[in-house]
Structure 1
């Protein structure tokens, strides 16, 4: 069977390139996810992230992104670090410890597609890494890589949730994996109970407009809202609380990807070090870092907020 042969090539090539997990789903319209996304947007739970309202049809229909799309390949890339920050220092989300993942994973995806075209033939495809209208977590669940936890993250039963998700949509028939139908969170509510801003709501709904990651990264206002004081738990870029308390992350294992090796400043900088940092040095030290997204001014704003109010 040709589809099975092509599927074997996809899985073997993904493993050779160092992707931790590879799953496949049929490229179908995501009817249930479209309904949930529409309700989430209508409630304004995306805050000022207006881009979430754009390209709604593309988010839910892969054929709008790749004409003739037949299969969606999802890849997981582990970023769980060997070392973590020193206790008491201003906190950075673990995904941002090293180089910007968009760049390195996008290169991997391009190479992945190139190798598939060499082995299978004329394939049209597009790769996406958290930068296009793709519902990565929905596709990951459909392709058997995990389930959506109460905190909105994809959780893999073998290795937890500290993964980047990448998606490759192709116009070739592949054998789909079985979706993860069971919710292995059970009655656990640790992420809900631990969230500093109570952003995790019932029924696997996350109020993005209350999330610390939203305030410290997405929100571009010059000042952070006063009603959020004393709630940031020392975070200045992103937040890992809901993942850190998740019991499934006891299975997380350190990555071996040199691109995600921590920048020494992130591991070691105290509040005083961050305060003394100049814009010139920020651009040098963090030139390849996700911290560029919030820029020097954003980091200083966030630092001032936790210093003033906590």
Structure 2
């Protein structure tokens, strides 16, 4: 089969595996992203995320990350939930953390896709990446025609909104790249900028991580910035506000991935139960969750910060 047929066969299989979308781009140097990354780092907007300043050339050139890479296969996996927390007064958990840690779910699916390519398309070597290596996921998804970068710096899809995870395969097959490029459809809308309670979106398409609730409740290892007190809107782990207000997420459909379904007990937690959570309950609720990243002590720090806002 020719390169175009290979591409379409891979994309069909990706949809069969449950991905929202799949796109392919040629593995080249990300020239346009270099200046933006350098400016963001120079202004210290990465905060304590020192890993963002490492391996800069690998971030910009996937061929340095996986030898022999010729194409980047980008995929999207829906996590828009079917349900919501029952107590409107409860601390708010980011939607992406309701179920099983996405790193495992998405990587397993990527491995299935890779096995299919190797057996049914062409023998190949590839590596799967899910938000855990120096790969500019959103930039590659844009190149693959899967969406555009919104003013909140999230990838936005015309068809699906933005409640999805991004992953990719760096593969040594020279596949026909997708030619579809999605225009920026943010227009004059500033809902995400206006809604951000900590004003972390310091300019259109620029987020200062140090002011971002997700950064403060997940990445920040020390105490939460006291200057942000009273601005968290009850967010205890992560934050979806800039996505919740995005008009494109009116198109978001609930996922059908069982691994992302939350434990019923988690959705039932009252405000009081959150505040009095012990380590045993934490372990039961978040045994397979991304919330484990912040550990029990980190979640208690976040809850204490919210209590001090009252």
TM-score by length of 1: 0.97
User: What corresponds to 2:225 in structure 1?
Assistant: 225
CA-CA distance at 1:179 after TM superposition: 4.7
CA distance in 2, matches of 1:136, 1:168: 11
Q: Is the Cα contact below 8 Å between 1:27 and 1:69 reproduced in 2?
A: yes
Q: Is the Cα contact below 8 Å between 1:102 and 1:129 reproduced in 2?
A: yes
SS in 2 for 1:159: coil
User: What corresponds to 1:138 in structure 2?
Assistant: 139
CA-CA distance at 1:99 after TM superposition: 0.7
User: What corresponds to 1:188 in structure 2?
Assistant: 189
SS in 2 for 1:197: coil
TM-score by length of 2: 0.97
SS in 1 for 2:80: coil
CA distance in 1, matches of 2:204, 2:299: 33
- What does 1:1-310 align with in structure 2 at a 5 Å threshold? 2-86=2-86, 87-221=88-222, 223-310=223-310
Q: Is the Cα contact below 8 Å between 1:141 and 1:179 reproduced in 2?
A: no
Q: Summarize the Cα distance change of 1:120–1:206 in structure 2 as closer, same or farther, 3 Å threshold.
A: same
CA distance in 1, matches of 2:106, 2:265: 23
CA distance in 2, matches of 1:203, 1:248: 17
SS in 1 for 2:29: coil
Q: Is the Cα contact below 8 Å between 2:195 and 2:245 reproduced in 1?
A: yes
CA distance in 1, matches of 2:200, 2:93: 18
Q: Deviations over 1:76-109 (max 9, x none)?
A: 0000011111312100000001110111111111
Across the aligned residues of Structure 1 and Structure 2, the Cα RMSD in angstroms comes to 1.2
CA-CA distance at 1:181 after TM superposition: 4.7
Q: Deviations over 1:34-82 (max 9, x none)?
A: 1111110011000111111111111110101121211111100000011
In structure 1, the gaps of 5 or more residues are none
CA distance in 1, matches of 2:113, 2:34: 29
Q: Deviations over 1:105-143 (max 9, x none)?
A: 111111111111001232011110111111010011111
SS in 2 for 1:294: helix
CA distance in 2, matches of 1:157, 1:113: 27
CA distance in 2, matches of 1:275, 1:234: 12
SS in 1 for 2:204: coil
SS in 2 for 1:296: helix
SS in 2 for 1:72: strand
In structure 2, the gaps of 5 or more residues are none
Q: Is the Cα contact below 8 Å between 1:92 and 1:266 reproduced in 2?
A: no
Higher mean Cα deviation, 51-60 or 149-158?
Answer: 51-60
Runs (4+) of structure 1 exceeding 6 A deviation are none
SS in 2 for 1:250: helix
Q: Is the Cα contact below 8 Å between 2:74 and 2:166 reproduced in 1?
A: yes
Higher mean Cα deviation, 45-54 or 174-183?
Answer: 174-183
